[in-house]
Amino acid sequence: MHAEAQILAIDDLCDRIKSYLPAERVELVRRAYEFGAKAHEGQVRVSGEPYIQHPLEVSNILADMHMDHETLIAAMLHDVIEDTPIGKDRIIQEFGSEVAAIVDGLSKLTQLEFESHADAQARNFQRMLMAMADDIRVILVKLADRLHNMRTLGALKPAKRRRIARETLDIYAPIAQRLGINSIRLELEELGFAALYPIRYRVIKREVQRVRGNRREVVDKIKDRIKRHLRQEHLVAHVVGREKHLYSIYQKMKEKALGFQDVHDVYAFRVIVDSVDTCYRTLGVMHALYKPVPGRFKDYIAIPKTNGYQSLHTVLFGPFGVPIEVQIRSNEMDQVAEAGIAAHWLYKSGDNAARSAHKRAREWLRGLLEIQQQAGDSQEFLENVKVDLFPDEVYIFTPKGEIMRLPRGSTAVDFAYSIHSDLGNSCVACRINRRLAPLRTPLETGQTVEIVTAPGARPNPAWLTFVVTGKARATIRSYLKNLQQGEAMLLGKRMLERELEHYATAIDKLDPARVEAALANFRLEHMDRLFTEIGLGLRPAPLVARALVLEQAEEPTMKRRRRAQAEGGDAPVPLVIRGTEGMVVSFPKCCYPLPGDPIIGFLTAGRGIVIHRETCTNVADYKNSPDRWVDVEWAATVEREFSSELSLDVINKRGVLATIAATVADEGANIEEVEISERSEANSNIRLVVTVRDRKKLADLIRKVRGLKTVVRVQRKKA
């Protein structure tokens, strides 16, 4: 665009915003344009047009939403910090700290180096959402920026087009939906669909155009009939026939495996009235006019969606056997449905729905801040936010009658964490509609859920396999990570103490200067971190022990260990396994070690010590890494139960499994897994995984099972 055309464009923008902004603020917007144009002078977009054209178009999109002057100025300058020498201080000086904060929140972390594009994307997205928490206008500018970029996507290479389109459909369109900005969300989805799946887009668009003519006549007839019946009841309403958007048609075809005709043969209408009372009266008229489809009515006025959206939804049996979707809402609700949180600025004259949308957006942002605090890194945070951007919801009641909104598929654990992290961390059971139910039970709208807690309870790693909310996932991961770190620190300290015994010293007797030098060499700040790394298997305890004692000390542990073994002398002091070490000592399924079995430990990075039976075939894999071997032995008393695998050959008779299960239970054991395979018409093999206290208890169990008439043979799995 030439300079003269740009002047006309900024004049046009200023003329439009005069309708709702005072003259002095309009001039500030013009001055921001001139400032931005000078800053970007000489820069062009990939399409060849001057760069300032992009910020100008972003401002136009926000002007359509009647955003305030600070947002429009920030839109004009949103790339200045990132792409020009001008810094944040200069923007504060020229346009104030609020504008500068929005611009800074939109600037990417270009000065840092990232290991991958995914990491860079995650870190920048994380930074932007944190800026959102301070000023929600950051995301409004970002959505407008993304919308204009999507409108001009054609100038980019195909691979980059697809990457940006995927990011738009995965992140930005769902955020627009979460914030209730329907107009931007729909356009982002259509543009993203066209760029990511161009052939599918063209096919569906062609089919829509083909059937449009026939549909229009039917839509007009239904619309006229609706209007006529509303007039008879003296109800004033604006009735419009809605056409399904291409992306929503595609999504429904994909999700429900439907053909185009099955999706598109739904007639949709929106009825806009003057008040909430009229909404419900209109619903009565609609249900008298056409029979409602059972189970397809939703009252989003009494219980609004998370983004503040309010409306009555009903599906009716229409003429010609075709279903009719009807949305009934007030003028105020319709404005918020299109503008979402932007309605907070667009309709400031005491608009309750607009304030509600803004309040709900703030609540969502508070939830994101909690996820941010729990997340381990940027990519984990981004993953949890994606999980949180859900389209469908269920409405659950607390025992006190309060309503909680959760994504479809949520469980009692998600419910507990949505109330408070401490409640989630300590939950052990739940009551759904006053009946005890498993924690993993998916919740349904209208249920009352009560969480049962116990002192000392803690999150189960298995919960991560069924929770669906970002907050639950992030909090569980954070708790387990901290728990593992604490357990690793205690285990690492024990391991180091054991190794230092070979040098006739102990941790509290080490030379402080030597300790400080070793920590500096390891690039660690304190001993607790060193203990943790030893416990997690990141640093072998023998090498750490050697580094912590003087060079003149006795010879290293491994040499001492080998010499003792070769000479038949004193064996090194083993690490005692009590079964209370937690997540940093694990017992693999390859050999299922039990107390009483001869065992060996192996340090594995990030997992701590893995305990194997000495006869386990996997031990051979470790022969080339003797520095990672750990001498271990069972404690005299082990405070837990362990899994063990049995193989049973049985006679095929009715009730054989029930008899075996009863015998296992009588011996105080528990069955974890069962697998049956038929060997012949007369015999089958049963694979059982049971939990027992030790090797002796397992021997007692095997003896009892072997005595059953239907059992031909039973043996423990070989190592």
- Alpha-carbon distance of 296 to 696, in angstroms, equals 60
Annotated catalytic residue within 34, 57, 68, 83: 83
Measured CA to CA, the distance from residue 314 to residue 299 in angstroms comes to 9
DSSP assignment string, 626-646: GGGEE-EEE-SS--S-EEEEE
Nearest to 309 by CA among 278, 343, 283, 285: 343
558 and 582 in contact (C-beta within 8 Å)? no
> Which DSSP symbol is given to 169?
I
**Token duo for residue 507:** 């941790």
Count of residues in the chain: 719
- Whether residue 449 contacts residue 423, with contact meaning beta carbons closer than 8 Å, is answered with no
Is residue 83 among the annotated active site residues? yes
User: From CA 393, how far away is CA 339, in angstroms rounded?
Assistant: 21
What is the per-residue DSSP string for 184-222? Answer: HHHHHHHHHHHHHSHHHHHHHHHHHHHHHHHHHHHHHHH
How far is Cα 699 from Cα 377, in angstroms, rounded to an integer? 47
Which of the following is catalytic: 82, 450, 528, 554? 82
Strand partners, 324: 267, 316
Tokens 């397809």 identify what position? 296
Q: Are 631 and 572 in contact (CB under 8 A)?
A: yes
Tokens of 96: 């104030």
Amino acid, res. 652: N
Query: Is there a contact between 644 and 671 (Cβ–Cβ < 8 Å)?
Result: no
Token code pair at residue 554: 């006795």
H or E segment to which residue 427 belongs: strand 427-432
What does DSSP say about strands 427-432 and 298-299: parallel, antiparallel, or unpaired? unpaired
DSSP H helical segments within 375-442, as ranges? 378-388, 412-419, 421-425
Active site residue 377: no
Write out the catalytic residue numbers. Answer: 82-83
